[in-house]
Amino acid sequence: MTFSDAERDAMRRALALAATPRIPRGPNPRVGCVLLDAAGRTIAEGFHRGAGTAHAEVDALARAGEAARGSTAVVTLEPCNHTGRTGPCALALVGAGVRRVVLAQQDPNPLAAGGAATLRAAGVEVESGLLEDDARALNRAWAFAVEHDRPLVTWKFAASLDGRSAAADGTSRWISSTAARLDTHRLRAECDTMLVGTGTVAIDDPLLTVRDEHGTPLAHQPLRAVMGERDLDPGRRVLGPDAETVHLRTRDPHAALAELHRRERRHVFLEGGPTLAAAFLRAGLVDEIVAYVAPLLLGAGRAAVGDLGIPTIAAALRPLVTDVTVLPGVDGEQPNIRLTLVPAQEA
């Protein structure tokens, strides 16, 4: 495969367009497209802005008009080949007279894949694999959900040095630092669902919204999901108008994720207490762990995770560390450490 410098630069730009901030998370991948003329100059750009809106290729073609004829389309994901909320992008590119398509990642979704074959059958030159790893990283949760028929699950918790998530009297505000809490909101914004148990709602009364560094809620909020069989007090903040909330009346993690997948949710941010965390871990349904460790010693209190049924050190779960970041203290606070880990079998 041979790619020009202009195509490489265009793919970097397409990836940046696809990652445009504040695009609502949803069932669709994030995609960017750049159209180049025969000299490698940019004709038009486009990106997908969420479910029901124009796909990146169609967005770019609309901006280019007749100038698209004979162009090269540089796109981060294989153009779709099916009709859903919008028409197939592969046929749109053919109809616009695009000469060449350079794509980063093949579409893993069997319902939408096949665009490259359609383009080639129509006489369009197609090359794939340019900056593929970057494209996969951009849509890791979406691709995981498509390939595994369930959402990607990130379990986040904050704990003291001795693994406590709350003191003996039940207080937990604040174990983590201001910087850690701001970082949590950044990670929340990358997901489309936040999941807690009914126990957390009853005890902590969380709001479960995503806010910026000034405390202002973002315009597009993830779904708030509460899992458990007990009824919810209608006065709990999670049932307020700040974001959509769903009550999943089950204790089975598999059933909860199946329902969220049916609702086209791709990335679950698990923020429940130790019992819910243990249930997901024992079911093998935690795909990523984000742990904020604060320089505190409590000696007693609620553990960060409940019983995992591990009788001996030899049977311990040993996730692999993929990142260690020190979050500086703010206004005299001590630094916290953020650890990111993945299950050993998926490293």
- Any idea what the Cα angle at residue 246 is, between residues 240 and 252, rounded to 5°? 140
CB atoms < 10 A from the CB of 49, how many? 17
Q: Beta-carbon neighbour count of residue 337 at 10 Å?
A: 15
Tokens of 233: 């007090």
Give 314's DSSP letter.
G
Cis amide linkage into residue 142, ω under 30° from 0: no
CB–CB of 248/259 below 8 Å? yes
All residues at 6 or more sequence positions from 64 whose CB lies less than 8 Å from its CB, including other chains: 35, 43, 44, 71, 96
CA 193 to chain centre: 9
| Closest to 183 in 3D by CA, of 326, 281, 2 | 326
The one-letter amino acid code at 289 reads I
Q: Which of 57, 78, 271, 288 is catalytic?
A: 57
Backbone angles phi, psi at 342, to 5 degrees: -130, 150
Strand order in 72-77's β-sheet?
Answer: 42-47, 32-36, 72-77, 100-105, 125-128
- What does the buried/exposed string (b/e) look like for 256-291 if buried means 16 or more CB atoms within 10 Å of the residue's CB? bbbbbbeeebbbbbbbbbbbbbbbbbbeebbbbbbb
- Catalytic residue at 259? no
**46 backbone dihedrals φ, ψ, rounded to 5°:** -155, 160
Residue-by-residue DSSP string for 261-301: HHTT--EEEE---HHHHHHHHHTT---EEEEEE-S---SSS
Tally of residues, the chain = 347
| Catalytic site positions | 57
